[in-house]
Structure 1
Amino acid sequence: MTVWQLILHLFNFVLPALAMALLMPWAGRWVMGVGGRRRQHMLWHFLVGVGVLTLGLVLQGNDGTMATYAALVLAAATLEWVLLRAWTQRNNS
Structure 2
Amino acid sequence: MSPLDAFWHVANLFAPAWGLAALLAGAIKLAWRREAKALRWLRLWGWGAAGGAAAVVVSLVLLGRDGKMAGYALLVLGVALPQWWLLSVRR
Under TM normalisation by the shorter chain, which class is it? 0.7 to 0.9
Return 5+ residue gaps in structure 2 as ranges: none
Task: Give the root-mean-square deviation of aligned CA atoms.
Answer: 1.9
Calculate the TM-score normalised by the size of structure 2: 0.82
Q: Taking structure 1 as the reference length, what is the TM-score of the superposition?
A: 0.80
Match of 2:63 among 57, 60, 63: 60
Task: Evaluate the alpha carbon distance shift between residue 3 and residue 87 of structure 1 in structure 2; reply closer, same or farther with a 3 A threshold.
Answer: closer
How far residue 20 of structure 1 moved from its aligned partner, in angstroms, is 1.6
Which residue identity does 2:18 align to in structure 1? L
The aligned length equals 88
Paired letter, 1:58: V
Identify the residue that residue 17 of structure 2 maps to in structure 1: 17
Change (3 A) 1:74 1:80: same
| Equivalent in 56, 74, 78 of residue 75 of structure 1 | 78
Give the Å deviation of 1:87. Answer: 9.2
Larger Rg: 1
Aligned to 1:85: 88
Residue by residue, what CA displacement relative to the aligned partner does 1:2-54 show, whole Å, maximum 9, x if unpaired?
A: 22221111011010111022111111233334322211111111111110000
